[in-house]
Chains A and B, each alone.
Chain A
Amino acid sequence: MSEDKNYLNMDLLRFTTAGSVDDGKSTLIGRLFHDTKAIFEDQLEAIEQSSKKRGDENVNLALLTDGLRAEREQGITIDVAYRYFATPKRKFIIADTPGHIQYTRNMVTGASTANLALILVDARNGVVEQTRRHSFIADLLGIKHVAVCINKMDLVGYEESAYIKVLEQFTDFASRLENVTDITFIPLSALKGDNVVDRSENMTWYKGPPLLYHLENVYVGSDFNHVDARFPVQWVIRPHSDEHHDFRGFAGRVAGGVFKTGDEITVLPSGFNSNIKQILLADQEIDEAFHPQSVTILLEDEIDVSRGDMLVKPNNQPNSSQDLDARICWFSSSKKLSKGTKLILRHTTKDAQVLVSEVRYKIDVNTLRKNEEENQLGMNDIGRISLRASQPVFWDSYRRNRNTGSFILVDPFTNETLAAGMLR
């Protein structure tokens, strides 16, 4: 019974892998599972068989996450794989992402919900452009905690000098990042298992903990905003039954702050005020609701509220504007973004048409310099743009609130998701 309670109260850490192609991200996740005995017998058997068939020398632990046929054929990761495991200390949700530049969009997908990034670097090659790109994206997405895993130490004779070199290169680059504040460096070998779960005997010069210990113990406080109350309405619940004839509930997920029964609220964009009559968590009445709860809010007054509207507090309102200033990561290989491009903006539960009014600059991921000459963004480019929306958008800066500060851009013709954006 006590074990049960433990399971239910466990702390959750979401982390992502990052770094250049072949630096050993998938192998590391496989190793982590293998050495914590989190691989099931049938999974391990299947991996051993496939490794043999492929003629691999060792059991190829990357096959635990590289689950698609095309990935196994080419020995690379194409799309993000999600894996789950728990130790007695924490529960983990892992996103193993691709290093290949062509699939940067999938790396962004995995990183967008993570609190910590494992950035892998091949000890032989040091920090390369793709290491910088991924580190910059992690920073852009607001990830504060980074563990730089200096991998393949077995190929450099477990020499401290290789570790020091990467540490210096990365520290230099990271001094220009905004959000990444907590950086840990761990020398390891994903292939051989040094410093992954167990402390390595080949690197006695390293005094820090192995990776798992770090992941179990790193303090990742909730970076969630419990101050600014934001409730984007997802759906209006209107039962067509006699029993609940007058019921009108606004369903959604609290995107910030706390809502309590009796609170005065303002509905955006109409500007009408009312008070909260009742809050429901499914069929249970509760006194207050906070992120990330999905609840249903009932108001005292009959006012017009529909999907895409936002409930806020009268004395603490988000920005409301049609002009938006954002940093974006552009994903499309077939379409470029430039002044005049028309797109669909998806922000909280609202869709709006937008027009690119300006491409302000593109960022060189190697130097983090702004190139203001550039007036187009292509695949995997990161830049700052201005947008004009067909209707007002209610937003906070991404740094203040990830939920009301983020958006995606969608192609109105192909319906593809073309970009991820973070409001300034």
Chain B
Amino acid sequence: MKNYNLTHLEQLEAEAIFVLRETAAQFERPGLLFSGGKDSIVMAHLAYKAFYPAKSPFPLVHVDTGHNFPETIQFRDQFVDKLGAQLIIGLVQDSINRGTAVEETGPNASRNALQSVTLLETIENNHLDAALGGGRRDEEKARAKERFFSHRDAFGQWDPKNQRPELWNLFNGRKAHGEHFRIFPLSNWTEMDVWQYLKKEEIELPSLYFAHQREIIERNGSLLAVSEFVSPSAKETAKKETVRFRTIGDATCTGAVLSKASNLDEVIAEVAASRITERGTRADDKRSESSMEDRKKQGYF
């Protein structure tokens, strides 16, 4: 008899597509959170596959801190154009102007935490009842506890002590009015799986993921790129290095790594040898032991 086996990447892909289709079927107005980072690019690619030849039913939702690497925005706009997708942008600056979010001050000020406010406002203003995210359980210890279908109450909050049991592949997306769901089709993927998949599918990525020359400063153990949002303090000196990014987020807290990896094969080799998690480069996770959990409870991605 024929050997009916899938490789584990094929299994992960089939699972993610199943989850995306469940999302389309169980919700009225689901959106796909799109940061321009590699996980959300994989998500958009999977959504294309899940509904082919129809268009993906999910508008792309970008929560924009305004502190972007220019490469990210350029990539986002080209990507959206090519897909012909609808793009919803939630600006953190708008929340600040409305007074619903307050800008942090001090040398390590970041808009990262404020994104939660803007995200919830964007969800509410656009009447979204589900938000698909590229979060993976291998990223962080609080994320390791997430369900595929993760319930959020009317305040957008996550109650990690009281999550719905999630059996087999039976996802319960029932909810009361005003509540919503966060949905994570890539839950079981690891960073390595994502890179392997990007290569297998020949998916295009922003140039930030590959080695390039950049001015950086070292701050609290992270290598931050000098930009209009981050400049060296009196005690710091900027230097030019060959770096790349393992994750792409807000420019004020996304650390670079020293690297010469300039293509997918080299990146994969580097990820395989790395002794530090990808979020180990993120200053936002280093703020306290439970900073991810706290942010998630407030409505973070």
Q: How far is the CA of A9 from the CA of B200 in the complex (A)?
A: 13
Least CB distance from B58 to A in Å reads 13
Within 8 A of A (CB), among B201-257: none
Stretch of A39-47, A143-151, A181-189 that contacts chain B = A39-47
Q: Is A352 an interface residue (CB 8 A)?
A: no
Whether A83 contacts B52 by the Cβ 8 Å rule is no
Q: Is B68 an interface residue (CB 8 A)?
A: no
**Which of these, B9, B50, B142, contacts A294 with CB under 8 Å?**
B50
Whether A237 contacts B18 by the Cβ 8 Å rule is no
Q: Is A272 an interface residue (CB 8 A)?
A: no
Whether B53 contacts A237 by the Cβ 8 Å rule is yes
Whether A40 contacts B280 by the Cβ 8 Å rule is yes
Whether B167 contacts A294 by the Cβ 8 Å rule is no
Q: A83-B144, A417-B167 are in contact. Are A251 and B21 (CB under 8 A)?
A: yes
Contact with B along A103-126 (1 / 0, CB 8 A): 001101100110000000000000
Whether B293 contacts A68 by the Cβ 8 Å rule is yes
**Which of these, B25, B50, B167, B175, contacts A112 with CB under 8 Å?**
B167
Q: Is B126 an interface residue (CB 8 A)?
A: no
Q: Is A191 an interface residue (CB 8 A)?
A: no
Q: How far is the CA of A247 from the CA of B161 in the complex (A)?
A: 45
Stretch of B36-44, B98-106, B184-192 that contacts chain A = B184-192
Whether A406 contacts B52 by the Cβ 8 Å rule is no
**Which of these, A50, A222, A247, A417, contacts B165 with CB under 8 Å?**
A417
Whether B165 contacts A105 by the Cβ 8 Å rule is yes
Q: How far is the CA of A64 from the CA of B145 in the complex (A)?
A: 12
A-B contact count (CB 8 A): 187
Contacts of B161 in A (CB 8 A): 68, 70, 78-79
**What count of chain A residues pass the 8 Å CB interface test?**
78
Q: Is B268 an interface residue (CB 8 A)?
A: yes
Q: How far is the CA of A420 from the CA of B187 in the complex (A)?
A: 22
Whether B14 contacts A84 by the Cβ 8 Å rule is no
A7, A282, A290, A346, most chain B CB atoms within 10 A: A282
Q: How far is the CA of A7 from the CA of B191 in the complex (A)?
A: 13
B: interface residue count bin: 35 or more
Whether B8 contacts A12 by the Cβ 8 Å rule is yes
Q: Is B125 an interface residue (CB 8 A)?
A: no
Contacts of A417 in B (CB 8 A): 164-167, 172
Contacts of A213 in B (CB 8 A): none
Closest to A50 in B: B289
Closest to A69 in B: B290
Q: A83-B144, A283-B53 are in contact. Are A293 and B167 (CB under 8 A)?
A: no
Q: How far is the CA of A78 from the CA of B160 in the complex (A)?
A: 9
Whether B18 contacts A234 by the Cβ 8 Å rule is yes
What would be 19 A-B contacts, judged by CB atoms less than 8 Å apart? A4-B196, A7-B192, A49-B289, A78-B161, A82-B188, A108-B167, A235-B24, A237-B52, A244-B54, A252-B21, A283-B52, A292-B6, A294-B14, A294-B17, A294-B21, A307-B25, A344-B174, A346-B170, A408-B170
B contacts, CB < 8 Å to A: 1, 4-11, 13-15, 17-18, 21-22, 24-25, 48-55, 137-138, 140-142, 144-145, 160-161, 163-170, 172, 174-176, 187-188, 190, 192, 196, 200, 268, 272, 274-277, 280, 289-290, 293-294
4 A-B pairs with the lowest CB-CB distances in the bound complex, closest first:
A67-B141, A282-B49, A42-B280, A239-B54
Give me 4 other A-B pairs in contact (C-beta within 8 A), A240-B54, A406-B168 excluded. Answer: A42-B277, A70-B161, A292-B11, A293-B6
A contacts, CB < 8 Å to B: 3-4, 7-10, 12, 40-43, 46, 49-50, 64-65, 67-70, 72, 78-84, 91, 93, 105-106, 108-109, 112-113, 222, 224, 226, 234-235, 237-241, 243-244, 247, 251-253, 258, 280, 282-283, 290-294, 296, 307, 331, 344, 346-347, 349, 402-403, 406-408, 410, 415-417, 420
